[in-house]
Amino acid sequence: MKKITLILLCAVFMSISVYAQSVPAAQVPSAVKKTLMTKYPKAQDIEWEKESSNYMAMFSNGEDWTEASFTAAGVWTSSNVNIDPEKMPAALMATVKKLTQDLKYLE
């Protein structure tokens, strides 16, 4: 079960990175950096990518790895958090298990 969850998360992150290109922090607009630090003051190890006109920050946020997307004007658009499966809420894990079982029946 854990392997399936991790494989799915890796696939999502890899598909996102295919369309994005790495950007040095010096080329990221200050409005984007300011919004990131306002929304995630504990962000560390920040890596930047640019996907079309948006900027994506990948960073450590405490114990979790987070991705956040911003417009060039610094407006936050979305975030994704990679959570350790053992820390996921029980209701969410039950749903994932059920979906996984349903997928097995479709094979």
Write the pLDDT tens digit of every residue in 29-71.
Answer: 999 999 999 999 999 999 999 988 999 999 998 878 899 999 9
pTM: 0.64
Tell me the pLDDT band of 27, cut-offs 50, 70 and 90.
very high
- Which residues of 2-95 form beta strands (DSSP E)? 21-23, 43-51, 54-61, 64-70, 76-82
* Ranges 21-30, 53-62, 80-89: which has the least confidence: 80-89
Neighbours of 32 (CB within 10 A): 23
Write down the pLDDT at residue 39: 95
pLDDT at 16 exceeding the cut of 60? no
Neighbours of 48 (CB within 10 A): 22
Tell me the pLDDT band of 12, cut-offs 50, 70 and 90.
low
- Domain range for residue 27? 2-106
The number of folded domains in the chain is: 1
**CATH number for position 28:** 3.10.450.360
